[in-house]
Structure 1
Amino acid sequence: MKCSQTRAIQTHIITYPYLNFHKTLFGGQLMAWLDETAGISAVRVSRAAIVTASVDHLDFLAPLKASHSACIEAYVSGVGTRSIEIFAKIIGEDLLTGDRYLAGTCFMTFVVPKGASLPEKIEPETKEEHFICQGYEARKQVRQAKRQESLALASNVDLDIPWN
């Protein structure tokens, strides 16, 4: 399957109620839009109900200002036996001048249910897709190590709430 077959694109205008104190897009809102757009890409490759497993890496590179737009473009950058890695980029645009800028990048991982089938590989076509997809195996190894760290952390987290 080609990256382009999994591509999902959403564009939003930055207005109230999505603004923070700085009159820029609230980061949590961007994360919700990323999860939605990336989820569409994951379903396009799996044709199954998916679950967000992790936001592996999210870089906020430039603020998305009031009255600008945020265009989120996501596509599958790698597949495992039950996991799907999605790359997303956030392109901001000053709608009055037409100036565009890279506002952020993100890698997310989704998991499919047991029995769902995924393609053996994803085929990049563009220069960007080749660059992103070639790093999949290294990112997967880092993600698996981080998962083990998270499990170790979770086994040592106290669930008692002191004010009860």
Structure 2
Amino acid sequence: MPNVLSSDSARPVEARMVEIVFPDHTNHLGTLFGGQALAWMDKAAFIVASRYARRTVVTARSERIDFHVAVPQGALVELLARITATGRSSMQVEVEMHTEDLLTGDHRLATRGGFTMVALDSHGQPTPIRPLDDPAPAPGP
């Protein structure tokens, strides 16, 4: 299993969250509305980036969102967000959303996408973060 915590154990590089698909999350076909899936994926990316940077973060870009299978009403969705690379102030986050049928246990990849998150200082400007392969603490405020 990959190391999900950085060396100082206060900067996770993975985050998970679980949601259930209720009727107000679905489209006219009774499956998860794509916009809701994107919102949950962006939220997962925000959580892992915020925890890693220990700064305010914003979404700069979403890219290549692939929808693999429809997610029916009543299904669980589990999101896994993982920081895959860092720049000076940015983080590349891959998010996978898996669907699970509560009655059968069937578990499948539903959606996968990438997000670029940017750390901001107290003035709303991009601010440096620790590189992914650097165990030293991030720069102070």
Asked if TM exceeds 0.5, the reply is: yes
Select the residue among 42, 54, 59 that pairs with 1:35: 42
Deviation per residue, 1:18-66 (Å, 9 max, x gap): 1101100001011111111110111111111011000012101100111
- Distance in 2 of aligned mates of 1:21 and 1:115: 40
Q: Which residue of 2 aligns with 1:109?
A: 116
**Contact in 1 for aligned 2:21/2:72 (Cα 8 Å):** yes
Aligned residue in 1 for 2:129? 118
- Decide whether aligned partners of structure 1 residues 16 and 44 sit closer, same or farther in structure 2, where only a CA change above 3 A counts: same
- What letter matches 1:51 in structure 2? V
How far apart in 2 are the matches of 1:110 and 1:32?
14
Between Structure 1 and Structure 2, which shows a larger proportion of strand residues? 2
Alpha carbons of 1:73 and 1:57: their partners in 2 closer, same or farther (altered >3 Å)? Answer: same
Residues 1:9 and 2:16 are matched in the alignment = yes
Aligned residue identity for 1:36: K
SS in 2 for 1:50: strand
Query: Structure 2: any 5+ residue segments left out of the alignment?
Result: 6-11, 135-141
Q: CA RMSD in A?
A: 1.7
Pairing 1:25–2:32 present = yes
Question: Greater CA radius of gyration, 1 or 2?
Answer: 1
1:77 aligned partner, one-letter code: T
Give 1:42-53 correspondences, 5 Å limit: 42-53=49-60
2:86 is aligned to 79
Report the number of matched residues.
Answer: 122
- Offset at 1:121? 2.4
Percent identity for Structure 1 against Structure 2: 30
Deviations 1:121-164 (A, max 9, x none): 248xxxxxxxxxxxxxxxxxxxxxxxxxxxxxxxxxxxxxxxxx
Distance 1:101 1:115, change over 3 A: closer
Q: Which runs of 5+ in 1 are unaligned?
A: 124-164
Moved over 4 A (4+): none
Q: Is the 8 A contact 2:118 2:126 kept in 1?
A: no
Structure 1 CA distance, aligned partners of 2:50 and 2:56? Answer: 7
- Please give the secondary structure, in 2, of the residue aligned with 1:45: helix
Closer, same or farther: CA 82–54 of 1 in aligned 2, 3 Å = same
